Amino acid sequence: MRDADAAGAGGGLIPTNYVYRLPTESEWEYAARAGTTTAFYLGSGLHSGQGNFDGQYEYDASVGTINNSSGIYLGQTTAVGSYAANGWGLYDMIGNVSEWCQDWYGEYPAGSVTDPQGAATGRIRVVRGGRWLGFAGGCRSANRNGSFPDGGINFLGFRVVLAPGQP
């Protein structure tokens, strides 16, 4: 059997003309939301114990940051699956590590845009999602940050998507 045939038959190989890559910023947010429209896939708030972030600083969309002196702060990453998955079965879309995106950091296009393309060039790449040392507000599905890709930081990670390659 040829490799392409094995891939098509579920042989565990990458299908022909598919590649692994970082998600675009809009793909990341779409996946994080899992069909929801609230600040988090869990709802409008994020409270200590619902994800790996500094639980002393919870968040509610109606009031913003809420101080909780008894909130959980682990000070490190946790194993994938330590907290509830979103509605599409994706873990750690809230907290643990911020994740690299394919897009360069830049201004959003003006007006309403569906699946916007990120900046084509730049020095800073988009990172999305909250992290273990951040506040709950930084874990919102819409939150975005940037980082220099040549720096090593212990709160940045990545996930990949399998997508059709460029023709």
Q: What is the pLDDT of residues 20-57, one digit of tens each?
A: 999 999 999 999 999 999 999 999 999 999 999 999 99
Round to whole Å and give the CA distance between 83 and 150. Answer: 30
Kindly state whether residue 97 falls inside one of the protein's structural domains: yes
Contacting residues for 55 by C-beta, under 8 A, at least 6 apart: 47, 48, 49, 68, 71, 72, 73, 136
How would you class 147 by CB atoms within 10 Å of its CB: exposed for 0-12, middle for 13-18, buried for 19 or more? Answer: middle
pLDDT band of residue 8 (cuts 50, 70, 90) is very low
Kindly state whether residue 8 falls inside one of the protein's structural domains: no
Kindly state whether residue 26 falls inside one of the protein's structural domains: yes
Kindly state whether residue 76 falls inside one of the protein's structural domains: yes
Is 59 in contact with 139 (CB distance < 8 Å)?
yes
Contacting residues for 30 by C-beta, under 8 A, at least 6 apart: none
Query: Residue 167 has what pLDDT?
Result: 64
Kindly state whether residue 32 falls inside one of the protein's structural domains: yes
pLDDT digits (tens, 9 = 90+) for 124-148: 999 999 999 999 999 999 999 999 9
Domain membership of residue 33 as a residue range: 22-167
The answer to whether residue 1 scores a pLDDT higher than 80 is no
pLDDT digits (tens, 9 = 90+) for 78-113: 999 999 999 999 999 999 999 999 999 988 778 887
Round to whole Å and give the CA distance between 62 and 167. Answer: 46
Kindly state whether residue 152 falls inside one of the protein's structural domains: yes
Name the maximum alpha-carbon separation found in the chain: 61
- CA dihedral sign, ordered 27, 33, 35, 38: negative
Round to whole Å and give the CA distance between 162 and 64. Answer: 36
Kindly state whether residue 161 falls inside one of the protein's structural domains: yes
Round to whole Å and give the CA distance between 152 and 135. Answer: 21
Query: Residue 6 has what pLDDT?
Result: 39
Contacting residues for 118 by C-beta, under 8 A, at least 6 apart: 24, 25, 101, 102, 103, 104, 105, 106, 126
Kindly state whether residue 125 falls inside one of the protein's structural domains: yes
Query: Residue 109 has what pLDDT?
Result: 76
The total of structural domains in the chain comes to: 1
Q: Which of 15-19, 103-107, 144-148, 149-153 has the lowest mean pLDDT?
A: 149-153
Contacting residues for 76 by C-beta, under 8 A, at least 6 apart: 132
Query: Residue 14 has what pLDDT?
Result: 81
Can you give the CATH number for the domain in which 58 is found?
Answer: 3.90.1580.10
Q: Which residue has the higher pLDDT, 65 or 12?
A: 65
Query: Residue 106 has what pLDDT?
Result: 87
